[in-house]
Amino acid sequence: MSKLLLSIDQGTTGTTVALFDAECRMRAKVNREFRQIFPRPGWVEHDLDDIWESVTLGIDEALRQAGARGADVEAIGITNQRETTCVWERDSLRPIHHAIVWQCRRTAPLCQTLKDAGHEALFRQRTGLVLDPYFSGTKLRWLLDELPDARKRAEAGDLCFGTIDSWLVSRLSGGQAHVIEASNASRTLMMNLETLDWDAELLSILGVPRAMLPAVRSSSEHYASVRGVDSLPDGIPICGMAGDQQAALFGQACFQPGQVKCTYGTGAFVLMNTGDELVRSQRGLLTTVGWKVGDRVTYALEGSVFIAGAAVQWLRDGLGLIRESAEIEALAASVSSSDGVVFVPALVGLGAPRWKAEARGVICGLTRGTTAAHLARAALEGIAFQVRDVIETMRSDAGSVDLVRVDGGAAQNELLLQFQADLLAVEIHRPRIIETTALGAALLAGLAAGVWKGLQDIQQRWELDRRISPRMEAEEVQAHLARWEAAVAKA
């Protein structure tokens, strides 16, 4: 068997392990879900042992599915939920607490305190981010303040902080490396976007000891080698990493400035490649590292929608309107419109460009004639409205958007994509491989391992599957947007 690239896509609700060959063909894909932990309203946690089990079982199953052995793996790439915050013991690798998930809002009061102290402009300038509970820095501060002896142990260097990429490299390598990849580091509120290193002034404001922080590394290089992992022989290089949305941008081959992708997952995330230019949004978007390959840094503008696929999960698990998430399209398509129903899925606040942590979900326009189908359609439309808000803001900040490449689980939903194209008045392009997040991690690992010669080599392997053109009349679009704006004002 030819050598394979193993991609670990560690997401919010599950871990996907995929195997790709040198032609970018997916040879296996396995998803393992794990527990979501909600200690209080607005708080979200993950058990890192659950995540590790999902990774190891996923590797076992993917190898079996491909009819491969661990020895067939040439290199490993990792992509991950980005702002989720982990702290573990340096020597034992044992977590000292559940991971605090990016969706968690527990640090909203701390963010407000930092804003009231006048720090927001400094954080915005240095990191490209806003002071919001979404990001890792205030989550880490909470752990240091709330856990007995955590700060003392961190200052002594006994504890390690990291995002999920850091945690997985440590576990896969048996503790050989404590590193973080640049795009993940750019989501912490602690890394300077210009130097790509930890910012001493920001660390001081947050009260974070530098001794617990990982080394910031590029997106495609040899970080460590596998040691002590069932199903994998020791010595396999771990050599590609990126945050999930940056990995998707890379997997979509959006290598030119101005190219845009949207990933529909638990949330929806829109990124625009801005090349080597740090475009600082004036309208609520984030400036972030796209990737670093060699000495070259590629930056991006980003808008994050907190609830996308999670709204469908809520209809399934919270309301019981559907049994499986995949049923949402057929239910929504059973009516010709949402009949005036608007669903603002602000279930954990609103992200870009509004950044309202206190916002809550709203359903407007209900009548005696409203059915589950109307609510299902409104939920899909609510996802598309939020994405449209982000892309319109990108147009204002950085110029025209002529087409959008899409991926993620909900990119298979034709009704959603058609409504998205209508709202944006641009073509939507869906690639043959919609698991572009996992593919991006594999591509970054393959670059470091010499499987591909460069970005042009990768670009030639991107294949279009579906092109969706707008067809709704402009007046109808404006009527939809007016209802949306009225509903958002109530969130």
Amino acid 219: pLDDT: 97
Instruction: Using DSSP, state whether 276 is helix, strand or coil.
Output: coil
Q: What is the DSSP string of 191-232?
A: EETTTTEE-HHHHHHHT--GGGPPEEE-SEEEEEE--S-TTS
All residues at 6 or more sequence positions from 155 whose CB lies less than 8 Å from its CB, including other chains: 209, 211, 212
Amino acid 214: pLDDT: 98
Which residues does residue 260 pair with via DSSP β-bridges, in sequence order? 272
How many distinct structural domains can be found in the chain? 1
Say if CB 327 and CB 312 are below 8 A apart: no
Q: Pairing relation of β-strands 191-192 and 197-198?
A: antiparallel
Amino acid 397: pLDDT: 86
In a domain, 145, yes or no: yes
In a domain, 486, yes or no: no
Amino acid 4: pLDDT: 95
End-to-end CA distance of the chain: 55
Distance of CA 256 to the CA centre of its chain: 21
Say if CB 98 and CB 139 are below 8 A apart: no
In a domain, 469, yes or no: no
Tell the burial category of 340 from Cβ atoms under 10 Å away from its Cβ (0-12, 13-18, 19+): middle
In a domain, 461, yes or no: no
In a domain, 179, yes or no: yes
Angle 446-255-395 from CA coordinates, rounded to 5°: 145
Amino acid 382: pLDDT: 95
Distance of CA 10 to the CA centre of its chain: 10
Cα–Cα distance, 488 to 314 (Å, whole number):
19
Cα–Cα distance, 484 to 384 (Å, whole number):
11
Mind listing the pLDDT tens digit of every residue in the chain (491 residues)? 578 999 999 998 899 999 999 888 999 999 999 999 999 988 999 999 999 999 999 999 999 999 999 999 999 999 999 999 999 999 999 999 999 999 899 999 999 999 999 999 999 999 999 898 989 999 999 999 999 999 999 999 999 999 999 999 999 999 999 999 999 999 999 999 999 999 999 999 999 999 999 999 999 999 999 999 988 999 999 999 999 999 999 999 999 888 999 999 888 999 999 999 888 888 888 999 999 999 999 999 999 888 888 899 899 999 999 998 889 999 999 999 999 999 999 988 887 788 787 889 999 999 999 999 999 999 999 999 999 999 999 988 888 888 899 998 889 999 999 999 999 999 999 999 888 999 999 999 999 999 988 888 888 888 899 999 999 999 999 999 999 999 999 98
In a domain, 358, yes or no: no
Provide the residue type at 372 as one letter. A
Amino acid 370: pLDDT: 95
In a domain, 65, yes or no: yes
- Is residue 299 within a helix (H) or strand (E), and if so which, with residue range? strand 296-305
- Tell me the C-alpha to C-alpha distance, in Å, between residue 470 and each of 421, 429, 455, 473, 479: 5, 12, 31, 9, 16
Amino acid 410: pLDDT: 87
Tracing tokens 């909470």 back to the chain, one arrives at 142
CATH number at residue 46: 3.30.420.40
- Is residue 184 within a helix (H) or strand (E), and if so which, with residue range? helix 182-185
CA-CA-CA-CA torsion for 53, 54, 58, 59, nearest 10 degrees? -40
Cα–Cα distance, 259 to 459 (Å, whole number):
13
Q: Which of 135, 41, 15 is nearest to 85 (CA)?
A: 135
DSSP type of residue 85: B
All residues at 6 or more sequence positions from 455 whose CB lies less than 8 Å from its CB, including other chains: 253, 255, 293
In a domain, 459, yes or no: no
All residues at 6 or more sequence positions from 15 whose CB lies less than 8 Å from its CB, including other chains: 8, 9, 31, 32, 34, 51, 54, 55, 58
Amino acid 460: pLDDT: 84
- Number of residues that this document lists for the chain: 491
All residues at 6 or more sequence positions from 428 whose CB lies less than 8 Å from its CB, including other chains: 403, 404, 406, 417, 420, 421, 467, 468
**How many C-beta atoms lie closer than 10 Å to residue 478's C-beta?**
9
Peptide bond into 353 cis (omega under 30): yes
Q: Which of 82, 450, 58 is nearest to 229 (CA)?
A: 58
Angle 186-192-198 from CA coordinates, rounded to 5°: 90
Lookup: tokens for 104: 């968690």
Amino acid 1: pLDDT: 55
Cα–Cα distance, 482 to 88 (Å, whole number):
48
Lookup: tokens for 466: 């579906």
- Tell me the C-alpha to C-alpha distance, in Å, between residue 106 and each of 7, 42, 43: 32, 7, 6
Provide the domain limits for residue 49. Answer: 4-244
Lookup: tokens for 53: 């089990």
